[in-house]
Structure 1
Amino acid sequence: MNKPVILCVDDEPDILNTLKMQLKNEFKNDYFYELAESGEEALDILEDFHEKAEVLVVVSDWQMPGIKGDEFLIKLHQKYPKIIKVMLTGQADAAAVQRAVEEADLYCCLYKPWESKELIETIKSGLAKL
């Protein structure tokens, strides 16, 4: 696998499929799209992909079973600081967003339901900073 990876993390399969579809519609086959249903699963995937391909972007839900999105993104940042981190949330938890911005170097927080165009532009602008 030589393509860079965009990893989407959400406990709702429909949301994961929507994210993948929106990303593939824009970026086509320029990236490999990996899906995880929890922060723990995403950390395992990152460990597996670390040797095979570069994960450039992680789009993560905030409200998930197990570790919440802000905690996941902080752990992610500690191990993989260069990954662009985008958090999705259906709940406006300002403290969690602020914590992720400060401790996880969160690039952006988008609120559900997000606009596809806004997600794509956020990812493009994040990738441009790499």
Structure 2
Amino acid sequence: MPKKAILCVDDERIILTSLRDQLNNHFGKRYVYEFAESADEALEVIEEFNEDDITILIIVSDWLMPGMKGDEFLVQVHQRFPNIVKVLLTGQANDEAIERATKHANLHRYLPKPWDEATLIEVLESGLEGKDE
């Protein structure tokens, strides 16, 4: 059975730690969790997972990161892997970036920081509907 993963991308380690804890608390061992501190690192993870037959179901990405902004990253991912559900989790994105991610990356949801765990889980659950079979 192929492994299924959730990828979180944020340049702040404390955010990734919070996401890891919340994912583990809710989903336990149902998924592989991977964390990247930049869009470039996340693209490497995506390539490695693709080679190892690990299916990324959802990407939760920050917007304001060094190198590549989250909307650009999600558009790139969408061009190669349109079935991955994309969530933008940020306190910085402007309306234009959210609109671009919605239009060109099929953004599932935008969540503002600070987020509430129940809302995050609801967004992930709705994104996972039909994908976890």
Where does structure 1 lack aligned partners over 5 or more consecutive residues? none
Describe the superposition over 1:68-87 as per-residue Cα deviations: whole angstroms up to 9, x where unpaired. 00000000000110000000
When the two chains are superposed, the root-mean-square deviation of aligned CA atoms in Å is: 1.2
Describe the superposition over 1:68-121 as per-residue Cα deviations: whole angstroms up to 9, x where unpaired. 000000000001100000001112510000000000000000000000010100
Matches within 5 A, 1:113-128: 113-128=114-129
Q: Is the 8 A contact 1:8 1:35 kept in 2?
A: yes
Q: Is the 8 A contact 1:3 1:30 kept in 2?
A: no
Counterpart amino acid of residue 18 in structure 2? T
Which residue in the other structure is 1:32 paired with? Answer: 32
Which residue in the other structure is 2:51 paired with? Answer: 51
Cα pair distance change 1:102/1:129, threshold 3 Å: farther
Task: Calculate the TM-score normalised by the size of structure 2.
Answer: 0.94
DSSP 3-state at the match of 1:50? helix
Which residue in the other structure is 2:83 paired with? Answer: 82
Task: Calculate the TM-score normalised by the size of structure 1.
Answer: 0.96
Describe the superposition over 1:16-43 as per-residue Cα deviations: whole angstroms up to 9, x where unpaired. 0100110110000000100000001000
Cα pair distance change 1:99/1:125, threshold 3 Å: same
Give aligned pairs, total.
130
Task: Verify: 1:67 aligned to 2:68, yes or no.
Answer: yes
* Matched-pair identity in %: 52
